[in-house]
A and B are shown apart, each in its own frame.
Chain A
């Protein structure tokens, strides 16, 4: 369901997660090499005060040797990824204010390494939009014809966003997402957002960006026109198996070309706590040929809080954000 409510039996709860990623990959014709792709640690703090008032925060520390977010490369960051307060008037109507994960698709709101099945993230789930928004949200869940329906609608007004130096950000945005639980464990979702964005210089023209491994310049550029994004997604879990998919379509009235992308992913138990993962993704910057990426891997949940992943990432046009090679990670939820 979109942007679920914070629900903690205590006024303060502290948790977090961390991950280390290792890659053996080749970028744009260079020789294959081992690389520490990412080291992240996140602190999660939350609580519920008097049943209706709650808060949530996530503080991230990351060191990345390869790009995982648009424009990020060889950076070390400390950032507040989420920080909001929320008041529940009822189950169907909550008001949230602050910085929250942008509710587009399912992956972006559940992107923590220990929760995902692969080390690398599909472009579709982050490339066309800002991962976090700062503003006001209303959200809730209700029953329609016996089925659970969740929604979230939000605005990110101009001036509230302190644009991070090296990733996409909304200058202003208004969007909504809804998801329906068709049968227990099976969800379909629809997302949309209209926005004006800002992104690092060097990745402004999506068709010319670092798919070719270009160096990024300093500074940012703002989108010159309004943009509109439409997304669809689904997820089904049954008997330890999982099938999911997301698709986005981005239109622009400015100089940037439109983008569209989609992926389909399947997870099957292989025995014990080992799961096999396959994924295919097509991402299209419209003025270039579609970039196809194939991922085959395995995830071993070797301890109740430790996850090991290994995968082969295959693409015909490798770059720092879409590498061709082997990737491994260890992550922990605590």
Chain B
């Protein structure tokens, strides 16, 4: 199979390394930005202080000290620790340690927030909520992708019809983000009619039966998905349809028709297949922006994912969680990029042989 060709593998390896490199630099940039006000340092320092005073307090050898002596001891150990960890040197030295931690996802402990199980490990807090975000947004994006593809293909055949004009008219709806419509969806369906939930992922208390649980989750997914569909379907259908129109009157489609190939094959192999690489590129950009849109959407719908976590952490000024989330997002973006570039490579043979300078990446 073509995919197994060494040239393709070499290309993907090269891309993979570059993407990884980008992610690493992005994470480092995050560390630098986060500490521009000495913020990260502050967090670490107060953690150290807490750890030191705790360990001193718990050490039986020091039990008989009075308050002043005790405090002095803690100060001494604390300052030693700071020196040991390089706090007397410029930040740049420490930044590499933080960088290593961030890259290995050793994200430290939260200040105020905690996970369901009560742990303060930032990694755990995030890991708990990540699957929920993936569930909701992967579903949304897949639905939108297919609506756009099928709708766009169908609409491109009816160019100039009433349907075409109606869809074109509704395209500006997408200038308002999905969560914006979400607010109104809640107003209408939850507040006014009361038939769908205000937010959250499952009913409270959650049903114990697995099937009912799944149904409950589905019920809670209706409004978020609906709001995004209203916002983005028309735009997706319109841009796909435009793509198809631009490419379907191309010479190779005419030639395929002259070859006596049936319409279904022409649509699939000549129109769809040639345009697919560009659609994937477009989709990747939409996917990336959806990660961003997810933040507010989750907040509006109280969906327990990493977006609403970011909101909560922002409100609580929980620095470690915020920084940890930015790192996670960077990784998510890198992974998404890589998957989509692989797809593009499979679909467009020009990339594999020409060293990848033509296409998107």
- A, B: real partners: no
